[in-house]
Amino acid sequence: MKSEVTIVGAGVVGMTMAALLIKQNVSVCLIDKKEIRVIEGDNLFSGRTAALNIYSENIFRELNLWNEIERFTTNFNEIIAWDKSGSSKINFKASELDLKNLGYVVSNNALIQALIKQNLSNDLFNFIGEVIIKDIKEEDDLISIELEGKEAIHSNLLIGADGGLSIVREKSNIKSTKWSYNQKAIIANISADRGHGNIARQVFTKTGPIALLPFNYKNKERISLVWSIDDDTAEKVMCLSSNDFCGLLQSNTEGILGKFKLEGEINSFPLNQLHADKYFNGRSVVIGDAAHTIHPLAGQGLNLGIGDAEELSRLISLAKRKAKNIGSEEVLQQFHNNRFFKNLKMMGLMELFKKGFQSSNPWLKLGRNYIFQEADKIESLKKRLIREAVGI
């Protein structure tokens, strides 16, 4: 079987990568260890959520998908962050940049379904599910992906969008640096006494940051909780009754939205940081979480992955128009150069925030509160921070 590009990983980043390439008239074979699952009705509001910034919104608009996706989103036009151990806070408003919104909260399920529906309707897209990759081999101007019990796929380029435990990264010998945060992200959907006001809230506590993101269930106001918490404490918190859990959450968020009520189950996942030393090797390249994982405290992980997909698709399209090999070292080195330090900068900023706000050192506490105060006062600095967050 032949295709110009093979993508491994049918998550949001892999599906977005496929949609962007198809738009550029590039044939794509997307493979995954699972079959595509049809998600309908209420389930489109369930599961993990993501915060899309304006940059990602614009990419989905270019793909003619935004009208479908927007029905399942809740916008936020303000971000408030504060330190539970201090008195300072910082406030970002969309109006400060003459924007209507700073971003949107949406479920991964809704994003995936919109992308699947569009990709499957195009003859340039081929999906193969329930595959196990045996080996990856380079042959002249092609790369071959050998599958257990199925025909091999031959392409000019292999893209790994298969997450933090990437098989493509492993079998292509793409080295990476990884460490554990020794934290878990506790996620849940909750309701509150007070309306969220389309404000994204973030409070930094000594055990980890808590994000309260507006995410409505149909016409009912809801909040998507992402509570990053130390492993030892997380185990205890996960064992609490729903009432005790909500009480502890209310205390840690200083009652900002009144009393909370759980709407569904509590789930968690471990937090790690990973960055590939180089984003490619030979004709294999990694994007999204396969190339870099980041602490979720600012909700930038998916946006970085979508940015990878947009940049790589642009370079592939440019190479194709110039009749160059789309899997050449020239193309992939340019992709690495354009994205590596941009992603690293965001990862470093998140690491700085995490370590700075977890420290119990009184001088650091004083310093971070001062920084919050000054950043909230200095208009040029605030605008720069907002632009970085929304991707414009």
Position 206 pLDDT exceeds 90: no
Alpha carbons 53 and 232: distance in angstroms, whole number: 32
For domain 5-67+108-178+272-352, give its CATH number from 3.90.79.10, 3.50.50.60, 3.30.110.30, 3.40.190.150: 3.50.50.60
| Mean pLDDT along residues 242-247 | 96
Domain boundaries, the chain: 5-67+108-178+272-352, 74-102+181-271+358-390
Alpha carbons 90 and 233: distance in angstroms, whole number: 27
| Domains 5-67+108-178+272-352 and 74-102+181-271+358-390 alike in fold | no
Position 333 pLDDT exceeds 70: yes
Quick one: three-class SS letters along the chain? CECCEEEECCCHHHHHHHHHHHHCCCCEEEECCCCCCCCCHHHHHCCCEEEEEHHHHHHHHHCCCHHHHHCCCEEECEEEEEECCCCCEEEEEHHHHCCCCCEEEEEHHHHHHHHHHHHHCCCCEEEECCCCEEEEEEECCEEEEEECCEEEEEECEEEECCCCCCHHHHHCCCCEEEEEEEEEEEEEEEEECCCCCCEEEEEEECCEEEEEEECCECCECCEEEEEEEEHHHHHHHHCCCHHHHHHHHHHHCCCCCCCEEECCCCEEEEEEEEEECCCEECCEEECHHHCEECCHHHCCHHHHHHHHHHHHHHHHHHHHHCCCCCCCHHHHHHHHHHHHHHHHHHHHHHHHHHHHHHCCCHHHHHHHHHHHHHHHHCHHHHHHHHHHHHCC
Alpha carbons 161 and 83: distance in angstroms, whole number: 35
**Do residues 25 and 124 lie in contact, with contact meaning Cβ atoms separated by under 8 Å?**
yes
pLDDT range class, residue 300, cuts 50, 70, 90: confident
Q: What is the pLDDT of residue 363?
A: 40
Burial class of residue 12, CB neighbours in 10 A (0-12, 13-18, 19+): buried
Encode pLDDT of 93-123 as tens digits.
888 878 899 999 999 999 999 999 999 999 9
pTM above 0.85, yes or no: yes
Encode pLDDT of 342-373 as tens digits.
888 877 666 655 555 554 544 445 444 545 55
Class of domain 74-102+181-271+358-390: alpha beta
pLDDT range class, residue 38, cuts 50, 70, 90: confident
Q: Which two tokens stand for residue 213?
A: 């993101």
